[in-house]
Structure 1
Amino acid sequence: MSGNSARTTAGVWQIRLGSLLIPLAHAAGQNLVTVLGLRFMTDSLAISAGAAGAIFAFVKIYDGFADPAVGAWSDRAKTPWGRRLPFLLAGGIAMPLGLALLFGAPSFGSIVLAQVFVTLALVIHATGYTLLTIPGFAMLVESSSDPRERTRLMAWRTYGNAIGTMLGSTLPAWLLAMTGPTRGGHLLLAAVVGGVVLLATVLALRLLRHAPRTVAPERADAAKVHPIRALGRQVMLAWDNVPFRTLAIAHVFLLFGTAIGSASLAFYTRVGLEQADTVLGTYFMLATVAMLVSMTGWVWLSNRIGKKRAYIAAMAIYCVVQLSWLLAGPGEPMALIGLRGALSGFSGAGMILCAYSLLSDAVRYDYVTSGQRREGAFAGFTTLFDKLSSAAALAVMGGFLAAMGYVPSASGMAAQQGEGARMAILLCVSVFPAVSMVAAIAAMAFYKLDAASVEAAERQGQA
């Protein structure tokens, strides 16, 4: 008995650590591109802000529509490793490759060729991100039927996301401060972060190889259904899940706000605050520390007042933090910048934990009420909405900066910017994210599912 208990405990901790490493990997690779990708394209490759935003939007849209397909594919996959692990391995290889191509882009002597090359690099990177995130989230939902254990796993996932965020934002900014914003400096940070992504993925595969797995039920008519028609059917089924639909709408607004807030911060610290990249790195370091330290508190609070209320509270805090940038300017004390970073990380912990914990409840509710195993498809739809909102955010930001006169550069440093461009950067880092959070909070007013309802459905299904 004691031996079985020890093995079971070991299995639980392996799943928790694996649940940490997968988001660590994809958060590191994704944050590097989110924070520095747009600025690298405008200030190192001389691509206009409008064109750079359009490229990001195109890639995000491609990746978004690939998400449900990957999710459904992983739901149906049959391999000796199970349904999910081969996808994770492929993603752990593709993301570093995309990073190396993007930040190691050669000098073509042609803006058009540079645009084509970085688009290809971003497509490879985005595909890797999808291959890591979709099966990773689906495995987490499959691993436990206990809502409280899934909340714990979401906390571990959020820990991993926080560490990955620091490795993909703080570490690269500090490296650039040491090397200077050169082509070689950008390639170095891509190599370092890419190595982190690959190593974390390989370790996660070892930890999760014996994790609980579910098997898709055999369907005699599966081969007769056209893939596009099958995907359309899955979309309709997911949209009929009212709790999931409500969360998805709120998530779109939340991701729009956080995407534009993160991408604009790299511009704002350099142009608006007139600070070196060390300040940007320190900001994200403090945000990550606050995220890690506050996670236990958010788990306690979500259990105490409910996940929905905790989620709304986290979004409200983030809204206030972003609006506070309206009061900042050149010469802003580092203490105030650091305080904003800490509060941003504190609110980010609550938003990530509650968002995905609520989503796991909605997906589990779908299973216990329908009997269908669609975890991968729901994970795909979740990231589809994420990508579309991020695409809209980067397209809006790039187009807005271009319209307000942002001047691109090939030197690695920002060109001298006029008042219009400086005002556009300020609005992108403050007002746009705040308005998005208010819209997300309004959407959450319509969310009705709670943990008790999921548990009741579980008991009814077992009866």
Structure 2
Amino acid sequence: MADTARMDAIASAPPRANRWAIRLGSALIPVAHATGQNIVTVLGLRFMTDSLAISAGTAGLIFALVKIYDGVLDPAVGALSDRVRTPWGRRLPFLLAGGVAMPLGILMLFGAPDMGSVLLAQLFVTLALIIHASGYTLLTIPGFAMVVESSPDPHERTRLMGWRVYGNAAGLLIGTTVPGLILARMGPGRHAHLVMASAIGAVVLLATVLAVRLLARAPRTAPPEHPRPFNLVAQSRLAWLNRPFRILAITHVFLLFGTAIGSAALAYFSRYVLRAPDNWLSGYFLFSTIGMVGSIPGWVVFSRVIGKKSGYIIAMALFGLVNLTWLLAGPGELAAFSNLRGFLSGVAGGGTILCAYAMLSDAVRYDFVCSGERREGVFAGFTTLLDKLSSAAALAAMGAFLSAMGYVSSSMGGPIAQSVQAIHAVAICVAVVPAVSMLAGIMTVSRYQLQPDDLIENALPGEA
């Protein structure tokens, strides 16, 4: 453990002025990746089916394959960011590269030219999604690792996670409301989607550049002197043997499966069940963001009083119950009901994000306490690997389900007639699947037992 004290000294608390720069920089990274991710999560699948005439099953499969590629990329980026040596530290070059790649992928996807061939369109959007997903990985994994290594204080890490939730909320707001407003004003055509993509891409790039500048003086831990060769199987085994991390990772799979399907289905639900214009999405996500941002201080206090685990369970239960109420919605529903659902979903989302990542940071810290090694990137990579695989399974399942239920794709860009079965399938995806997924997550995380005393440096290694 000789290097342990040295490495924690490197990551000691920074001066107050720099501390606020780190907090703001930690928030801007999720602003960038959440903005770029949410536009694709909410509108990407619908754009492919309703504007590029790609079948729902094929579109879901493309998303799934890209997610699998991205998931395999995650541990490699995590391991590389743990061991690389540059004048700017281990993480910042990855962040900057991600801030360039993500906007490029967005522009390619929503600006896809008319190639006169569905097959060529499929290949082009696949390439666009690969570039977009690579940028997302380059932003998220080093960004999460920097939070873990920025402070040995678990309460400061929770505060940083709170700032990341604020950043995610801002990214959610920008990535969902701005596109809806642009499409409502300009129409659902190709040009409007390109304008939308350009605006969102600019936000991603600007937020990343500002974050890199603010984080340039953040505390850094040193890479290992003799790093082990990258081995995906070995890294997966390393992460899996950390029991608290393993439980949280499985819980996160259920959480992401439900939220991925729910988010992707909402654009279909508003169009074909509620029969609302695209600016309905802007209003819904505005209230969702208000709920998320407004609830963070409460979740921070609440999780300290009752524990992060209990807060996580309550947040997942609320999210599942709110989604179930979509089964009661229909055309002509009062906007107040939809806005209330958005607000409560945002409150639940704030709790799940804050508690999940605060608990994950504790589990990664537990590995350092037990091993004396700095492997934040490895664990961040494995976390996002499972996230991507669960999202891949979710989108593939949703696409296959919609196709099986008779959903009809087109190149018109707007709504077309769909069968009753297809509309029922959309309702199931937006309401039932997320609720069942949250229940499975609650059952899994109930087995988590890591305690604050287990995070003290001289605690004995062992499973909690």
Aligned to 1:375: 376
Which letter maps to 2:446?
A
> For 1:171-195, what per-residue CA distance to the aligned partner results, in whole angstroms no more than 9, with x for missing partners?
1111110111110110111111100
Aligned to 2:60: 53
Compute the RMSD of aligned alpha carbons: 1.3
Task: Give every structure 1 segment of 4 or more consecutive aligned residues whose post-TM-superposition deviation is greater than 2 Å.
Answer: 450-453, 456-461
Which letter maps to 1:116?
L
> For 1:257-307, what per-residue CA distance to the aligned partner results, in whole angstroms no more than 9, with x for missing partners?
001000000000010101011111100010001100110000000000000
Partner Cα separation in structure 2 for residue 409 and residue 280 of structure 1 = 21
Partner Cα separation in structure 1 for residue 457 and residue 77 of structure 2 = 28
Aligned to 1:18: 25
Structure 1 residue aligned with 2:130, among 123, 126, 134?
Answer: 123
Partner Cα separation in structure 2 for residue 75 and residue 44 of structure 1 = 41
Give 1:403 deviation, angstroms.
0.4
Give 1:452 deviation, angstroms.
3.4
Alignment map for 1:410-449 (pairs within 5 Å)? 410-449=411-450
Give 1:458 deviation, angstroms.
5.4
Matched, 1:279 2:257: no
Which letter maps to 1:447?
Y
Partner Cα separation in structure 2 for residue 141 and residue 170 of structure 1 = 31
Which letter maps to 2:186?
T
Partner Cα separation in structure 2 for residue 41 and residue 269 of structure 1 = 17
> For 1:186-241, what per-residue CA distance to the aligned partner results, in whole angstroms no more than 9, with x for missing partners?
0111111100000000000110001000112212xx5xx653xx332221111100
Aligned to 1:72: 79
Structure 2 residue aligned with 1:185, among 186, 189, 192?
Answer: 192
> For 1:13-54, what per-residue CA distance to the aligned partner results, in whole angstroms no more than 9, with x for missing partners?
000000000001000000000000000000000100000000
Which letter maps to 2:264?
A
Contact 2:14 2:219 in 1 (8 A): no
Which letter maps to 1:385?
L
Q: TM-score, normalised by structure 1?
A: 0.95
Structure 2 residue aligned with 1:95, among 93, 99, 102?
Answer: 102
> For 1:74-119, what per-residue CA distance to the aligned partner results, in whole angstroms no more than 9, with x for missing partners?
1110111110000000000000000000000000110000000000
Matched, 1:154 2:155: no
Secondary structure at the aligned position of 1:56 is classed as helix
Secondary structure at the aligned position of 1:189 is classed as helix
Aligned to 2:326: 325
* Alpha carbons of structure 1 residues 452 and 36: separation in structure 2 relative to 1, 3 Å: same
Which letter maps to 1:395?
A
Give 1:382 deviation, angstroms.
0.6
Which letter maps to 1:168?
G
Which letter maps to 1:443?
T
> For 1:379-420, what per-residue CA distance to the aligned partner results, in whole angstroms no more than 9, with x for missing partners?
000100110111111001100000000011111112200001
Which letter maps to 2:109?
L
Partner Cα separation in structure 2 for residue 357 and residue 185 of structure 1 = 39
Which letter maps to 1:280?
L
Which letter maps to 1:141?
V
Aligned to 1:200: 207
Give 1:61 deviation, angstroms.
0.5
Give 1:453 deviation, angstroms.
2.4
Partner Cα separation in structure 2 for residue 337 and residue 161 of structure 1 = 21
Partner Cα separation in structure 1 for residue 323 and residue 176 of structure 2 = 18
Aligned residues: 449
Matched, 1:393 2:394: yes
Alignment map for 1:267-306 (pairs within 5 Å)? 267-306=268-307
Partner Cα separation in structure 2 for residue 149 and residue 457 of structure 1 = 16
Partner Cα separation in structure 1 for residue 14 and residue 447 of structure 2 = 43
Partner Cα separation in structure 1 for residue 21 and residue 310 of structure 2 = 31
Give 1:457 deviation, angstroms.
3.9
Aligned to 2:89: 82
Partner Cα separation in structure 1 for residue 110 and residue 232 of structure 2 = 35
Aligned to 2:6: none
Partner Cα separation in structure 2 for residue 59 and residue 402 of structure 1 = 20
Partner Cα separation in structure 1 for residue 383 and residue 174 of structure 2 = 24
Contact 1:72 1:231 in 2 (8 A): no
Matched, 1:132 2:139: yes
Partner Cα separation in structure 2 for residue 292 and residue 354 of structure 1 = 14
Secondary structure at the aligned position of 2:116 is classed as coil
Which letter maps to 1:73?
L
* Alpha carbons of structure 1 residues 458 and 24: separation in structure 2 relative to 1, 3 Å: farther
Matched, 1:174 2:181: yes
Contact 2:323 2:432 in 1 (8 A): yes
Partner Cα separation in structure 1 for residue 91 and residue 232 of structure 2 = 18
Aligned to 1:3: none
> For 1:120-158, what per-residue CA distance to the aligned partner results, in whole angstroms no more than 9, with x for missing partners?
000000000000000000001000000000000000000
Give 1:445 deviation, angstroms.
1.3
Matched, 1:407 2:408: yes
Aligned to 2:222: 215
* Alpha carbons of structure 1 residues 268 and 191: separation in structure 2 relative to 1, 3 Å: same
Which letter maps to 1:283?
Y
Give 1:460 deviation, angstroms.
7.1
Partner Cα separation in structure 1 for residue 396 and residue 161 of structure 2 = 30
> For 1:416-438, what per-residue CA distance to the aligned partner results, in whole angstroms no more than 9, with x for missing partners?
00001000000000001100000
Aligned to 2:309: 308
Secondary structure at the aligned position of 1:47 is classed as coil
Partner Cα separation in structure 1 for residue 139 and residue 328 of structure 2 = 39
Give 1:459 deviation, angstroms.
6.7
Partner Cα separation in structure 2 for residue 417 and residue 376 of structure 1 = 45
Which letter maps to 2:384?
T
Q: Which stretches in structure 2 are left out of the alignment for 5+ residues? A: 1-12
Q: Which stretches in structure 1 are left out of the alignment for 5+ residues? A: 1-5
Matched, 1:31 2:38: yes
Which letter maps to 2:197?
A
Partner Cα separation in structure 2 for residue 189 and residue 344 of structure 1 = 25
Which letter maps to 1:352?
I
